[in-house]
Amino acid sequence: MASVPRPMRLPPGMSLDQFSRFVTRAHDICGAENVRIIEKSDPLHDGSYMDPCKGHDMHAVLEKDYFVASAVIFPREVPEVQALMRLCNEFEVPVWPYSIGRNTGYGGAAPRVPGSIAMDLGVHMNKILDVNVDDATALVEPGVTFMGLHQYLEKHKLRDRVWLDVPDLGGGSIIGNAVERGVGYTPYGDHWMMHCGLEVVLPSGELIRTGMGAMPDSDDPSIQRMRPDQQPPNRAWQLFNYGFGPYNDGIFTQSSLGIVVKMGIWLMPNPGGYQAYMITLPSDAALSAALDLTKPLRVGMVLQNVPTFRHILLDAAVYGPKSTYSDSDKPLTEDDLDAIAKKLDLGRWNFYGAVYGPEPVRSVLLSVIKDSYLSIPGTRFYLPEDRNEPRSVLKTRSNTLQGIPSLDELRWVDWLPNGAHLFFSPIAKISGADAMAQYDITAARCREAGLDFIGTFVVGMREMHHIVCIVFNREDPSSRKRAHWLIRTLVDDCAKRGWGEYRTHLALMDQIAGTYNFNDNAQMKLNETIKNALDPKGVLAPGKNGIWPKSYNKADWAISVDGEVKGAKGNESKL
Q: Residues with catalytic annotation?
A: 106, 502-503
Look at residues 3, 18, 1 and name the one whose alpha carbon lies nearest to residue 573. 18
Residue 58 CB, nearest distance to ligand ADP (Å)? 11
- Identify the CA nearest to 92 among candidates 15, 36, 207, 29: 15
Which strand (E) or helix (H) includes residue 271?
none
Q: Which is nearer to ligand ADP, 480 or 544 (CB)?
A: 544
Residue 469 corresponds to which amino acid?
C
Contact predicate 145/427, CB 8 Å: no
Choices 95-103, 187-195, 211-219, 320-328 (CB under 6 A): range interacting with ligand ADP: 95-103
The answer to the question of residue 101 lying near ligand ADP (CB under 6 A) is yes
Q: How far is the CB of 134 from ligand ADP (least distance, A)?
A: 27
Instruction: Please give the residues from 334 up to 363 whose contact with ligand ADP meets the rule CB under 6 A.
Output: none
Contact pattern from residue 102 through residue 121 relative to ligand ADP, giving x for each residue in contact according to CB under 6 A and a dash for the rest: xx-----x-----------x
The interface mask with ligand ADP, positions 213-232, x = CB under 6 A, is --------------------
**Candidates 97-105, 231-239, 298-306, 386-394 — which segment interacts with ligand ADP by CB under 6 A?**
97-105
Q: Which residues pair with 117 in a beta bridge?
A: 71, 95
Side-chain half-sphere exposure of 519, counting CA atoms within 13 A: 5
Residue nearer to ligand ADP on the CB measure, 175 or 495:
175
Q: Give the CA distances from residue 204 to residues 13, 34, 257, 533, 550, in Å, rounded to whole numbers and listed in that order.
A: 21, 22, 10, 11, 16
Site string for ligand ADP, 267-296 (x = CB under 6 A): ------------------------------
Residue 108 or 426: the one with the smaller Cβ distance to ligand ADP is 108
Nearer to ligand ADP, 260 or 420 (CB): 260
Across-strand partners of 265? Answer: 138, 195
| 3-state SS, residue 387 | coil
Minimum Å gap between C-beta 360 and ligand ADP is 38
Site string for ligand ADP, 144-183 (x = CB under 6 A): ----------------------------xx-xxx-xx---
Cα–Cα distance, 101 to 560 (Å, whole number): 25
Q: Is 142 in the site for ligand ADP (CB under 6 A)?
A: yes
Torsion from C-alpha of 238, 271, 127, 206, nearest 10 degrees = -20
Among 11, 12, 55, 97, binds ligand ADP (CB under 6 A): 97
What are the residue ranges of helices labelled H in 247-358?
A: 284-299, 312-319, 334-344
| Residue placing its CB nearer to ligand ADP in the complex, 260 or 314 | 260
Q: What is the chain's alpha carbon radius of gyration, rounded to the nearest angstrom?
A: 24
With respect to ligand ADP, which residue has the nearer C-beta, 179 or 303?
A: 179
- What is the number of the residue whose Cβ is closest to ligand ADP? 176
- In whole angstroms, give the CA distance from residue 183 to residue 310: 15
DSSP readout, 361-407? HHHHHHHHHHHHHTTSTT-EEE-GGG--STT-HHHHHHHHTTT---S
* DSSP E strand stretches across 407-536: 419-424, 427-429, 455-459, 463-473
Site string for ligand ADP, 253-272 (x = CB under 6 A): ------xx------------
CA–CA dist 456, 439 (Å, integer)? 10
- Distance CA(130)–CA(160), nearest Å, equals 17
What x/- string results for residues 503 through 542 when contact with ligand ADP is judged by CB under 6 A?
Answer: ----------------------------------------
The residue among 58 and 286 lying less far from ligand ADP, judged by its C-beta, is: 58
547 interacts with ligand ADP by CB under 6 A:
no
Q: How far is the CB of 353 from ligand ADP (least distance, A)?
A: 25
What is the nearest approach in angstroms of ligand ADP to the Cβ of residue 169? Answer: 8
Rule CB under 6 A: which of 178-207 touch ligand ADP?
Answer: 179-180
Alpha helices in 129-243 (DSSP H): 146-155, 174-179, 221-224
Dihedrals phi, psi of 231, to nearest 5 degrees: -70, 140
> Rounded to the nearest whole angstrom, what is the least distance from the CB of residue 471 to ligand ADP in the complex?
18
Does residue 518 contact residue 500 with C-beta atoms inside 8 Å? no
Phi, psi of 222, rounded to the nearest 5 degrees: -65, -30
Please give the size of the binding site for ligand ADP, defined by CB under 6 A.
20
Kindly list the residues in this chain that would bind ligand ADP in the complex (CB under 6 A). Answer: 97-103, 109, 121, 142, 172-173, 175-177, 179-180, 259-260, 544
